Amino acid sequence: MNRTTLTFDLVKSCENSRIDYGFVFSRDRQKIFLIKTGQDGSIYGYQNKYLKLACELRDKFGFSVVCASTPSVEIDQIAQFAKIVQSEFEITDATKIYFMGMSKGASIGCLRYASFPQVSRFLLINPPLMINTIKLCRCTQEFTGEIMAFVFGSLDPSARLAGLLKLYERENVRISIIPGQDHHFSKDNFNLLELIKSIIL
């Protein structure tokens, strides 16, 4: 990485929803990668996991990255995400926007993807399938974007229910199970960047 001290270039907070947004800007403002954390996760993540990932996505693939925390609030968090992104970027038909959600962040991305229609590719990691099962399956069935990829660790409880999503698997909807990984994808120094690269880049 180019920087010895990792920091977000900009942090915005929405007091009404208690959601924080961390921005890492690249020269290319037309390639944007969104990260939505798990329940009560900060924009930094454990041991700066999300900040490090954001900087890697900038340095290796030229993305500007926006990371959003995920508190327990009853609002359309994806619609608010869209407003925050549009406050810093000029979104055009040429803009590429990809989304990665972890756990509850993955569920929110799946259930509310229509609130941010400019997002074309989704990587949804360990969404809790025991919650909103029918809605998640319906959204998967209705998805018409480029890619909606679900990834589960084999040790995560939702992996046992992944077969429900496989009923809707097709060219633009993919379901994968990674052996030996848990809910946090933290075992054996798992490389999230390689997962992102192999599935949605």
Domains (range + CATH), the chain: 10-199 (3.40.50.1820)
Residues 51, 62, 194, 50, Cα dihedral to 10°: 10
Q: Report, as an integer, the average pLDDT of 169-187.
A: 86
Instruction: Please give the pLDDT value at position 187.
Output: 65
pLDDT band at 3 (very low <50, low <70, confident <90, very high): very low
Residue type, 192: L
- The arithmetic mean of pLDDT across residues 136-149, rounded, is 94
- Among candidates 129, 140, 134, 17, which has minimal Cα distance to 79? 17
